Structure formats: C-alpha cells, structure tokens
Structure 1
Amino acid sequence: MIFQRLTTGLRRLSRVAMQKPEVLFVLGGPGSGKGTTCGKIVDKTGYVHLSAGDLLREERAKPGSEFGELIEEHIRNGTIVPVAITCSLIDRAMQTAPSAEKRFLIDGFPRNQDNLDGWTKEMADKAIVKGAIYLECSAEVCTQRCLNRGLKGSGRSDDNIETLIKRHETFIKDTMPMVEHFERLGLLYRFDSEKPPTEVFADVYEKLKEIGWVDKE
C-alpha cells in the first residue's frame, strides 16, 4: 500500500513537471484593478502573478540595464515597449517562479497585436493560454484611481494626468482589439471592475471554478 501511494505520488509529480504552464491574461485600462484582483487570487490559490508593467519597471531600475532608458521612455510617454523585451522578461519570470502548479496570471499583456504576435512566436510552445480576464472600468474611474495612487506615493512616473490620457488612448486603440480577439475565440471573461475589490474578486473566483482553475467548494 505504501509503495503504491509512493508510486502514484511520483507519477503525479512527473506529470506536473511535464505539463506546460497555463496562463490567464488579465486585461483592463490603467487603474482598472488588475494588480489588486490578481493579488487576491494569488492569496487564495497560490498561483503566480506576473505583471508585465512591474517586470518592465524592475528591469528599468536595474543598474546597467541595456533596456532601462528605452523602457523609461515608453512608460513616460504611455506607449508600448517592444514585445521582444517584454516576452523575454515574462519567460524568465515564468522559468524562475517557484510554482509546482504552473499556473500564471499575466496582467497588462498582450497590449497590442505586436505583443500577441510576439507571444505566439516566442511562447506558444512554452505555455498554454486558457483565456483572458477583462476588467471593465470607465476611463474616468480608472484615471481617478491612478491619480489617488500617485498622491499616496506610488512612485510611478506614469501616475499623472498627462501620461494617463496617453495611456487610455493607447489602451482603446491597441489593447481593445486584443479584448475583441479573445472574445471571438470564446476565451474572454468580462467583469465589472467598478465594483468594490472584494466583489470583483468574488466574481472572478467563480469564473475560475467554471473553467477548472480552482476546485469547486
């Protein structure tokens, strides 16, 4: 009996090790609550949250980074960093993440068609995309959230009204087509993120149960 359990356990570990990581993209305008929602999911499930924006900001802050100035220029202007840089940072973070389950929430990506094409080229053989969570929130509410975040000392160079206007324009022009792309594939999950954070999380968590990302209680 002990040997049988040990064998079963080893087979399960082997199967997990061989599985490709599963990814859920998390999309929404600046201030829509992507980071907050992902944080609550991580607290509940232990899955790994990767923020494309945070990875870029961390890379920008590294002394001697060859991409630092380029990343800062794009962040300051509210434009999109070249996909090769973003994909390489995501890939590295996924490879080094301490997650036996291999399930990742990647927020703020893909932000445009170039991002999606780059992911398909660089990552399609390395991970399985299960779909995209879309947090719907008006530009007015998003902007006020970001400005409040800036007043509280977020330390982010893009939490100002001039950059936020550019970021919202970029989101509508470049990222909304990505939302529509996943919707056409039947892989988009929409949520009203103007609700309180606890309610948004509850809605998202129910959807995670439906798609089999968490066990039904």
Structure 2
Amino acid sequence: MWRRVTSLSHLLSSPKSSPQLTPTSYGPKIWETLSTEVSKKSGGGIFSKERSPFITFVLGGPGSGKGTQCSRIVETYGFTHLSAGDLLRKEITMNSENGAMILDTIAKGKIVPSEVTIKLIRKAIESAENDKFLIDGFPRTEENRIAYERIIGAEPNIVLFFDCPEEVMVKRVLSRNEGRVDDNIDTVKERLKAFRSLNLPVINHYSNKGVLYKIDGTGTEDEIFERVRAVFDAWK
C-alpha cells in the first residue's frame, strides 16, 4: 500500500540537497481515493476500476544514475522498471516498422516522437502483471508530458529527478563501455544540451504540482540510494 505524503517546497532552489520527508497520515482509504480519481479521469484503458497502476517518472540527464537506482528500487520495493531508452533500442534490434527512424534519431542525440515512445510504454504496462512502475527517462520534453497525459489519461503519482553535475554525467557515460550507439562524446554533449533546454520545463511543472522529489545524484551508489529510500519509505 502506498500513500501520499506532504510534498516538498522549493525543490529546485537547492540543487545539492536531498529530500527531508515527513510522512503525513491521510487515513486508510487514501490509496483507494487516489485510484478512483485517476480512473475517473482516464475513463478506461490502463487506468480503470479494475486497475490503477502506481506510476513513478524518473528524470535526469544521461549518466545521472537513473538506471542504476531504478535497479535498486525494483529490488527493494518490487517495481517494474520501464526504460524509455531500452524500449526504443529494443525496437531497433527487432527491425520493427519504426526501428530505422528510432536508430537515426537516437544516433543524432535527438528525441524520438512522443507517440512512438508512449505506444511502447503503454504496451509494456498493459502486458505486465505488476501495478507499480518506474518509467525511466520519460517525459523528456513538455510535448512528451502533454502527449503522455493525453494518451494515457493520467499524471504520474511521483516524479524523481536525479540532479548531477554535467562533468560527472559525461565521465559516467564515457566509462560505462556498454557499446551503445549514443555513448560517445559528441552525442553525449548533444544529449546534455537537449536535456538542459527541454527537460527543465518538465521538472518545473512537476515541482509546481508538488509531486517532484529532487535527489542529489553525486556520491556512491549506496549513498544515492539512501536518498531514494527516504522518498519510497515515506510512501509505503
């Protein structure tokens, strides 16, 4: 069971601070209430009377540690991890209808059309038995966000933003040696440029909505995860 806690104020004003959360009791039926509200808004599909998934968006620049921390969240809290990037790369390897377009777009450090990514996310949610999801690396733009809410019919329950200096992110990406088409210095610079210009409005939007939690993405994997735990332990 997950319940809402008091949101943090001024999350973007202190880039190095991690959330200090104080759980607030909303009574035993808070999750039922939240689920009903989402169901009414969507009118069916993924969100219905029978099913109301708990959605967490995970945002941050390339190399900010999103994927690593998502693995820890999955292991500790039982979420299903949906990486927008991994879903797109899977389409490339499958030689699907959109595979060539996706490959060309990613190789240039650009953003794949929203409808393509959302279709893959929705398919993954619908085919899963779990009802707790981490959607990693999406939405990357305001257009992504608006399209997601229009197509899916609901907003995320919470949003994690991993805040990390660019020099740290570049070093991490270039050292991970995973053979990805976008893991080179020129593409990384393009991705960081796109992140700076396009992702900040999304982050500010969710901060204003009171659902964004900023995580200091520097330090060891364990140190960062302790900051993440503060968020999820308060929601349980």
TM-score using structure 2 length: 0.78
> Which residue is 2:20 aligned to?
none
Shift of 1:208: 1.0
Residue 105 in 1 paired to residue 129 in 2?
no
> Which residue is 2:163 aligned to?
136
Identity of aligned residues (%): 39
> Which residue is 2:180 aligned to?
156
Pairing partner for 1:57 from 69, 82, 89:
89
- Distance in 2, matches of 1:70 and 1:94, equals 23
> Which residue is 2:60 aligned to?
28
Shift of 1:117: 1.3
Shift of 1:98: 2.8
Secondary structure at 1:27's aligned position in 2?
A: strand
- Distance in 1, matches of 2:104 and 2:226, equals 37
- Distance in 1, matches of 2:198 and 2:113, equals 13
Q: Which amino acid aligns with 1:59?
A: E
> Which residue is 1:70 aligned to?
101
- Distance in 1, matches of 2:61 and 2:68, equals 13
Q: Determine which structure has the larger helix proportion and give its number.
A: 1
For structure 1, which runs of at least 5 residues remain unmatched after alignment? 1-14
Shift of 1:76: 0.6
What value does the CA root-mean-square deviation take over the aligned residues?
Answer: 1.7
For structure 2, which runs of at least 5 residues remain unmatched after alignment? 1-35, 37-47
Residue 198 in 1 paired to residue 227 in 2?
no
Shift of 1:119: 0.4
Residue 93 in 1 paired to residue 124 in 2?
yes
> Which residue is 2:144 aligned to?
115
> Which residue is 1:11 aligned to?
none
- Distance in 2, matches of 1:133 and 1:98, equals 23
Q: Any idea what the Cα deviations from partners look like across 1:153-186, whole Å, max 9, x if unmatched?
A: x020100000000000000000111111111111
Q: Highest Rg: 1 or 2?
A: 1
Q: Which amino acid aligns with 1:208?
A: F
Shift of 1:197: 1.0
> Which residue is 1:45 aligned to?
77
TM-score using structure 1 length: 0.84
Secondary structure at 1:158's aligned position in 2?
A: coil
Q: Which amino acid aligns with 1:70?
A: M
